[in-house]
A and B are shown apart, each in its own frame.
Chain A
């Protein structure tokens, strides 16, 4: 599984960075940076990030990374 962020939808609100700080962060310009792959132990945080996004821009893809 990997994290996919729709960059057209993303407005850099950063709620994902609070829900799942291990995988999402805002850089100094306020733009989202994230890792596509993640550790299985963070899955709850990442699902929380997916739900939190006010633009619903984050999805989890089951395709092998």
Chain B
């Protein structure tokens, strides 16, 4: 077989993988790109899994259709769906596939993302609950289908996935309990205790049984009941949404820094290996925001930006495209929980102080703007509102934030 252009392997079919493939092809149309993924679906809009209720799920296909992503339908790359990459020999540039095949590449993009963390590997089934996690489209199919039947839902955790799911389930008419054993309320790690507590009250006001601390721990399911009785068919749904774990196991043995995802430089290059790049949720890169620290982010826009940069850097290493640029991702995220829109810009986690500059945390639905500072420098802004009454204040603060960034 004659090989016209360089062979580029992309491991991961998420938006970071797709974006990197497209960025390479745009600059080097001769590149032969092969995209590997565990899932049987091409790239879809992952945030959309929890952000809205899907009306017609009888065939199980509508949700897939609704979540199509531009560019994913193109056949300029070869898609190896449902094909897990078991391991990689990054020095000899060979991937080992679960099918037993090997794949030789010239350049590689690691975009394997993350998987949901679970409290215990063996607590997957019990007599009382259907235990699930929500990460991919197949999970979403199951969960949306169950929610449509008005099942009781228990959610463990109170992060983005947990809160959006609670809101969605209520729309479907389900009774929802949320268990947050370690924190006071939603998004505490990002926004701090005061806002988290206020958000916990917001969940309660909207009919969620929101339990924290010991009362949450008492209701956590450890799966023990499976030892005593057969699972019944009408078990209620329990979804664990307690964070995620980077998918890096397949890279072991190559001497990489895999302490929290794959460490890369500001061009998304894996420093230990020439011609290897990483992007998306799995990539830990120098934070353009906080000097001399590394960051790993699990947001859609981050996956797009780092995927694009990895692809451009890769193309540049092949002699295509112009100068390579540095990561410039500006953190900006948005979610909606029971009609309350929560927008966060910058890096509130880095703050040493917060100030409510407009509104009242006891009346979130009347609009609240909060600033986060570190040594008098604005590092983050949060805006919570039903509607957009304070949107102009928020946008002005975001502009200030962007300007502070070098």
Query: Can you list 19 residue pairs at the A/B interface with Cβ under 8 Å?
Result: A9-B66, A11-B51, A11-B52, A13-B341, A14-B391, A15-B334, A18-B395, A21-B395, A25-B391, A26-B388, A31-B388, A51-B301, A54-B300, A54-B334, A55-B47, A55-B51, A55-B52, A56-B45, A56-B48
Point out the residue from A14, A21, A28 that lies within 8 Å of B341, measured CB to CB.
Answer: A14
- Asked whether A56 lies within 8 Å of B69 as measured between CB atoms, the reply is yes
Name the distance in Å between B378's Cβ and chain A's nearest Cβ: 15
Query: Considering the chains assembled together, what is the distance between the CA atoms of A25 and B334 in angstroms?
Result: 15
Other 11 A-B pairs with CB < 8 A, given A17-B395, A56-B48? A15-B301, A17-B391, A18-B395, A25-B391, A28-B389, A29-B387, A30-B386, A30-B388, A51-B304, A55-B51, A55-B52
Nearest A residue (CB) for B398: A18
Residues of A within 8 A of B345 (CB): 18
Closest 7 CB pairs of A and B: A30-B388, A26-B388, A30-B387, A13-B334, A54-B47, A26-B391, A51-B304
- Asked whether A27 lies within 8 Å of B388 as measured between CB atoms, the reply is yes
Nearest A residue (CB) for B389: A28
- Asked whether A52 lies within 8 Å of B48 as measured between CB atoms, the reply is no
- Asked whether A28 lies within 8 Å of B388 as measured between CB atoms, the reply is yes
Query: Considering the chains assembled together, what is the distance between the CA atoms of A17 and B300 in angstroms?
Result: 17
Query: Considering the chains assembled together, what is the distance between the CA atoms of A18 and B394 in angstroms?
Result: 9
Size of interface on B: residues with Cβ below 8 Å to A: 26
Supposing A11-B51, A14-B343, A59-B70 touch, asked if A52 and B332 sit within 8 A by C-beta, the answer is: yes
Query: Considering the chains assembled together, what is the distance between the CA atoms of A24 and B156 in angstroms?
Result: 37
Interface hits, A31-47 → B, CB 8 Å: 31
Point out the residue from A13, A18, A26 that lies within 8 Å of B336, measured CB to CB.
Answer: A13
Residues of A within 8 A of B51 (CB): 11, 54-55
Nearest B residue (CB) for A54: B47
Query: Considering the chains assembled together, what is the distance between the CA atoms of A26 and B391 in angstroms?
Result: 7
Size of interface on A: residues with Cβ below 8 Å to B: 23
B180 CB–A CB distance under 8 Å: no
B385 CB–A CB distance under 8 Å: yes
Residues of A within 8 A of B47 (CB): 54-55
Q: Residues of B at under 8 Å CB distance from A?
A: 45, 47-48, 51-52, 66, 69-70, 300-301, 304-305, 332, 334, 336, 341, 343, 345, 385-389, 391, 395, 398
Query: Considering the chains assembled together, what is the distance between the CA atoms of A51 and B389 in angstroms?
Result: 25
Chief secondary structure at chain A's binding surface: loop
Q: Which of A19, A21, A25, A55 has the most CB of B within 10 A?
A: A55
Nearest A residue (CB) for B334: A13
- Asked whether B391 lies within 8 Å of A55 as measured between CB atoms, the reply is no
Query: Considering the chains assembled together, what is the distance between the CA atoms of A21 and B392 in angstroms?
Result: 10
Residues of B within 8 A of A25 (CB): 391
Query: Considering the chains assembled together, what is the distance between the CA atoms of A30 and B343 in angstroms?
Result: 13
Query: Considering the chains assembled together, what is the distance between the CA atoms of A28 and B172 in angstroms?
Result: 28
- Asked whether A55 lies within 8 Å of B48 as measured between CB atoms, the reply is yes
Nearest B residue (CB) for A8: B66
Name the distance in Å between A49's Cβ and chain B's nearest Cβ: 11
Residues of B within 8 A of A12 (CB): 341, 388
Interface hits, A2-16 → B, CB 8 Å: 9, 11-15
Query: Considering the chains assembled together, what is the distance between the CA atoms of A2 and B341 in angstroms?
Result: 28
Name the distance in Å between B246's Cβ and chain A's nearest Cβ: 22
Nearest A residue (CB) for B387: A30
Residues of B within 8 A of A11 (CB): 51-52, 336
Residues of B within 8 A of A28 (CB): 387-389
Residues of A within 8 A of B343 (CB): 13-15
- Asked whether B48 lies within 8 Å of A30 as measured between CB atoms, the reply is no
Supposing A56-B48, A56-B69 touch, asked if A30 and B301 sit within 8 A by C-beta, the answer is: no
Query: Considering the chains assembled together, what is the distance between the CA atoms of A52 and B304 in angstroms?
Result: 9
Residues of B within 8 A of A26 (CB): 388, 391
Residues of B within 8 A of A18 (CB): 332, 345, 395, 398
Residues of B within 8 A of A59 (CB): 70
Residues of A within 8 A of B336 (CB): 11, 13
- Asked whether A14 lies within 8 Å of B334 as measured between CB atoms, the reply is yes
Name the distance in Å between A18's Cβ and chain B's nearest Cβ: 5
Name the distance in Å between B62's Cβ and chain A's nearest Cβ: 13
Nearest A residue (CB) for B345: A18
